[in-house]
Amino acid sequence: MSVPQRDESEGPWNRPPPPRAPVFNTMPPAVLLLAFAIVGAALAGQVLPDFQGWLFNAAVFVSAERGASLPKQPLGPIAPLVLHVFIHFSLGHIAMNLAVLVAAGRAVGERLGHGWLGSVGFFFLFFACAVTGAAMETLFHQGPPVPMGGASTAVSGLIAGAGWVRGGWRGMAQLALPWIAINLLIGVAGDLMPISIGWLAHIGGTLGGMILTPLVIAVFAEDEA
């Protein structure tokens, strides 16, 4: 008796897997815009030294005790509270902040949605956390003035936000509290650290994310399902 042969060229077992969507097609637009802006500012500074000097003076956040004499900045003392996210001091500094922006920011951005309302909410959360981080540094900084920059204030808030998206208050605590603890250890280590790290600014940004994320999602999320 002959046994019918199965044609291996047909059937669901031989179908190619569906193509995966490119990662940038699924990334929230606000995350992509911020990432390109951070990289663009760094590249422009390398090509245009005069612009680099102006941007540094205008955007760097000077952390100092209250009453300390601060340098005059081209855009005034308020702009650096927001613009310091575009100032980075090394390629590694940019890479670390971009990695957190893409990972944590993607989770928050997906929850808010890809439309204009969700994007506005994401921008608001990002820059509000930058401001709360800078404010924390201003309130509690001790010692001589220190220039500070980097998106770590804002992405610290996104860490808390990603935790909220993952599991509400419990999920937020699981991500935010260890990050706060790490920065407290950095603060205790103090001068033992090989480079200056704005641990107070990180904590301030994280606290901003913990407070603001539920409110931002309630107001700006495009799909509450």
Any domain includes 13: no
Among 10-14, 53-57, 204-208, 215-219, the least confident range: 10-14
Q: At residue 96, what is the residue type?
A: M
Please report, for the domain that includes residue 44, its CATH number.
1.20.1540.10
Any domain includes 5: no
The number of distinct structural domains making up the chain is 1
Any domain includes 175: yes
Residue 9 predicted with pLDDT over 50: no
Any domain includes 11: no
pTM score, whole prediction:
0.85
Angstrom distance (rounded) from CA 137 to CA 203 = 9
* Domain of 134, in residue numbers: 28-62+73-189+196-220
Query: How large is the average pLDDT for residues 25-30?
Result: 86
